Amino acid sequence: MKLRHLESFLSQVDGFEAPKWGLEQYLTPPHLAARVLHCVASYDDLEGCAVADLGCGTGMLLAGAALMDCDEALSVGVDADPDALSTARGNLDKLELNFSLLQADIVVNNGLPFRRVISEGSNFDTVIMNPPFGTKNQGVDMLFVRRALAFAPIVYSLHKTSTRDFLMGCGAAGCGKHVQAEVIANMQFEIPATYSFHKQKSVNIDVDLFRFSRRNSEDMEEAITG
């Protein structure tokens, strides 16, 4: 899949009708989403994989993952906002995608409303997400990572580069020695003026694509469910 083909496909994904600042809703730009997915594919964590997106918004990352041959039928987008999910559903129909959607709040709830899939140990192969940056609610970005690691052994997540030292320093999102964290790419997140308090037309924010991986899924059980 050529980068520009993926990007042009993703430009058809509808964004938030009325973004909510409380949820730090920003549409992942197609340009950025395409690059994130190429990175994930280069680690062989996409094709044929059951993928989850926590805070999926209108479904940009999963739409791209589907086009790059993730296992759509086993893939799920989770979001707390019914309006975003309604747009996501429109995107599914319009682009003939086949992943599932679920409304749940992974911030206040202790993870996802799922039973553990015992024999495999994980509900998903890979989580790919662009969580809230934690600008409004401090620490929410790390909480997303912790929750994600409870349901998948590999997590790809976008974070502000300005928080890199903090994320690495606090032991891979609070999971300590049980999780390996590395920055696999540095990218630009172009945020168009979305909210009324945005003075400039658009700003570019430096973001890191993190790859978190579990070292030992049994040992870390306690660390991630806290």
Partner 1 sequence: MRLLSHNVLRNTAKGVVDGYPLKIEAAEIDVRDTEPDLTFIRHLLPTISFSGLRSAAEDLGLDAAAFPASYSTTLGEDEAFLRALHKALFDVRVLEGSLVCPESGRRFSIRGGIPDMMLTDEELS
Minimum Å gap between C-beta 187 and partner 1 is: 30
What gap in Å lies between CA 76 and CA 153, rounded to an integer?
Answer: 16
- Give Dmax (Cα) for the chain: 52
d(CA 197, CA 37): 31
Structure tokens at 201: 């037309």
Using the minimum distance from each CB to partner 1, give the nearer residue, 18 or 73: 73
Determine contact, residues 189/204, Cβ cutoff 8 Å: yes
- Of 29 and 111, the one with the shorter C-beta distance to partner 1 is 111
Residue nearer to partner 1 on the CB measure, 36 or 65: 65
Tokens 């940056």, residue? 133
Strands 76-79 and 100-103: parallel
Nearest approach in angstroms of CB 7 to partner 1 is 27
CB 101 within 8 A of CB 39: no
Q: Does 95 bind partner 1 (CB under 8 A)?
A: no
Site for partner 1 in 55-94 (CB under 8 A): 73-74, 76, 80, 82, 85-86, 89
C-alpha–C-alpha distance, residues 169 and 95, integer Å? 41
Q: Which is nearer to partner 1, 46 or 158 (CB)?
A: 46
Binding mask 98-137 for partner 1 (x = CB under 8 A): --xxxxxx--xxxx-xxx-xxxx--x--------------
Minimum CB separation of residue 119 from partner 1 in Å reads 4
Extract the tokens encoding 53. 């997106």
Residues in contact with partner 1 by CB under 8 A are 73-74, 76, 80, 82, 85-86, 89, 100-105, 108-111, 113-115, 117-120, 123
